[in-house]
Amino acid sequence: MSQILWADDEIDLLQPYIIYLKDKQYDVLTATNGQDAIELCHQARPDIVFLDENMPGLSGLETLQEIKRLHPEIPVVMITKSEEERIMEEAIGEKIADYLIKPVNPSQILMCLKKHIHQRDILSEHTNKTYREEWGDITYLIDTASTIEEWQAVERTLTHWELELQDVDSSMREMLQMQRQQANAAFAKFVQRHYEEWFTGDERPMMSSDVFKRVLFPMLDRGEKVFLVVIDNFRYDQWKTIQPMLSDFLTVTDEQLYCSILPTATQYARNAIFSGLMPLQIQQMYPQFWVEEEEEEGKNLCEKDLIQTQLDRYRRKEEFSYYKVNESEFCEKITRQFKGLRTPLNIVVLNFIDMLSHSRTESKMMRELAGDEAAYMSLTKSWFRHSPTYFMLRRIAELGYRIVITTDHGTVRVQNPVQIIGDKNTNTNLRYKVGKSLNCQSKNVMTIADPKRVGLPCPNVSSSYMFCAGNEFFGYPNNFNYYAQHYRNTFQHGGISLEEMVIPLIILDPK
């Protein structure tokens, strides 16, 4: 039974309300002054406090201040005859839950209780009920998806429900997780059937190498000033998590999903974005900018050069600026430099999400902070709210630039290790392997025996690629238990899943 504390110096006149609330199964404590209300709060810890402003001794505002100091978790509703704006503002400043003007009717009181005591239970019940009703439609959507556009609709739908259910007490999360696994299994089969066609046919979905040509160049042709912000490892659900925080100064004019190339890794996907080429073409046309898997040199050190090659190939004369941000201090520094910016095209690469996900793998504390997708989203939200990235985007909006936010690939939380055998030069990524004599018995692995057919370089004549699907990850037989224990439930990328391949591309305009 929920308990109410009602403090009012005319409490006898409120007996009809108290009887009404008791009939609704509420336990009502009463007080006629602020001091008694504070003592009852300390003794009984009520679920909510109704507080009059005009009482003998301590005023309602003074009582509110003391209750909030001692018990900030208890919602306090002020019920008063006063309509003074000053009192309302002071009450709001003291984090009052609600403000009602006398006379109030019983239905107002009941609505206030549902809002501040029962909201989570009501929301949970409604959300669970709605998801149960839509469960069959979502399953049908997964079972019948046959185009990349339909798979994008699946990703939007699953993400919507994952975000809806993560904030409520839901018995439906396990069902939704099963649908996500079902969707990823079916999506992997779809990719296996059609991926090669996308490189041999006349039509294909927008992929990494098409971003400049299909999105940025048309904007520049219209004379628009553009900022491309590439956030590494940025999933669609992470975009939906931070979107509300941008609404004060940016308007979303287009929210697209596009398809990352395989492997869903920086060396391949991000280099494809900046060059406008598939990795094999980069290797053949600009060998000085391509780093092989087995080489220790950084795989994304030539991004500015690759951007220039793409502009040159399309005979574009635009000047551009390029920044790669790996730490907060540098983000703050370049934000201050934006004031004098005149270039029509500007590119910023942000590695914060990448550092967040990889540090989770190596840090025990980060494993605790981001134990599942809900915690990972919460961590993303907290990072963004307090990071210089937020203020950088605000500054860009103030300068009147159109902003394109995208990523090179997403990540997936891996759970099931599978054994793979390869030669000693096989790469170390957990979600894809490239090498000779690769052998894996898992049914959830996609093999590309002729990499050149899908625009991938071949380190050796007999090299092939293998990609994990769903939530699997590779481990070697001689150290399998270590891989299983160390990497299970970490966020990885490189393979085939909706989270890794179907990624956001958002166009925003300043308000």
In SS3 terms, 190-221 reads as HHHHHCCHHHHCCCCCCEHHHHHHHHHHHHHH
Angle at Cα 160 formed by Cα 181 and Cα 140, nearest 5°?
55
| Same-fold call for 3-117 versus 204-411+500-510 | no
What percentage of the chain reaches a pLDDT higher than 70?
Answer: 94
User: How many Cα atoms sit within 13 Å of 187 on the Cβ side?
Assistant: 29
Number of other CB atoms surrounding residue 41 within 10 Å: 22
pLDDT of residue 360: 47
The model's pLDDT over 453-493, given as tens digits with 9 standing for 90+, comes to 999 999 888 899 999 999 999 998 888 998 888 899 888 99
As a residue count, the chain comes to 511
pLDDT of residue 362: 52
Query: How large is the average pLDDT for residues 182-187?
Result: 98
DSSP string, 387-454: SHHHHHHHHHHHTT-EEEEE-S---EE--EEEEEE--TT----SSEEEESS-EE--TTEEEES-GGGG
Q: Which amino acid is at 156?
A: R
Residue 278: phi and psi, rounded to 5, are: -75, 155
Domain residues of the chain, as ranges? 3-117, 120-194, 204-411+500-510, 413-493
Least confident of 295-304, 338-347, 442-451: 295-304
- Model confidence at 358: pLDDT above 60: no
The model's pLDDT over 381-412, given as tens digits with 9 standing for 90+, comes to 888 888 889 999 999 999 999 999 999 999 99
Query: How large is the average pLDDT for residues 297-317?
Result: 92
Return the residue matching tokens 């574009």: 316
Query: How large is the average pLDDT for residues 299-323?
Result: 95
Least confident of 72-76, 122-126, 438-442: 122-126
Q: Which tokens is 76 given?
A: 């306090």
For residue 47, give every residue at least 6 positions away whose Cβ sits within 8 Å of its Cβ, in sequence order, or none. 2, 3, 4, 74, 75, 117
Q: How confident is the model at residue 248 (pLDDT cuts 50, 70, 90)?
A: very high
What percentage of the chain reaches a pLDDT higher than 90?
Answer: 67
Q: Which tokens is 443 given?
A: 């049914």
pLDDT of residue 387: 85
Q: Cα torsion for 196, 201, 202, 203, to the nearest 10°? A: -40
Residue 140: phi and psi, rounded to 5, are: -65, -40
Residue 488: phi and psi, rounded to 5, are: -60, 140
- Model confidence at 361: pLDDT above 60: no
Query: How large is the average pLDDT for residues 96-102?
Result: 87
By CB atoms closer than 10 A (0-12, 13-18, 19+), residue 443 is exposed
In CATH terms, the fold of domain 3-117 is Rossmann fold (3.40.50)
What span, in angstroms and rounded, lies between the C-alpha atoms of 304 and 314? 16
Q: How confident is the model at residue 368 (pLDDT cuts 50, 70, 90)?
A: low
- Model confidence at 363: pLDDT above 60: no
What span, in angstroms and rounded, lies between the C-alpha atoms of 338 and 227? 11
What span, in angstroms and rounded, lies between the C-alpha atoms of 93 and 299? 52
By CB atoms closer than 10 A (0-12, 13-18, 19+), residue 133 is exposed
CATH superfamily of 204-411+500-510: Alkaline Phosphatase, subunit A (3.40.720.10)
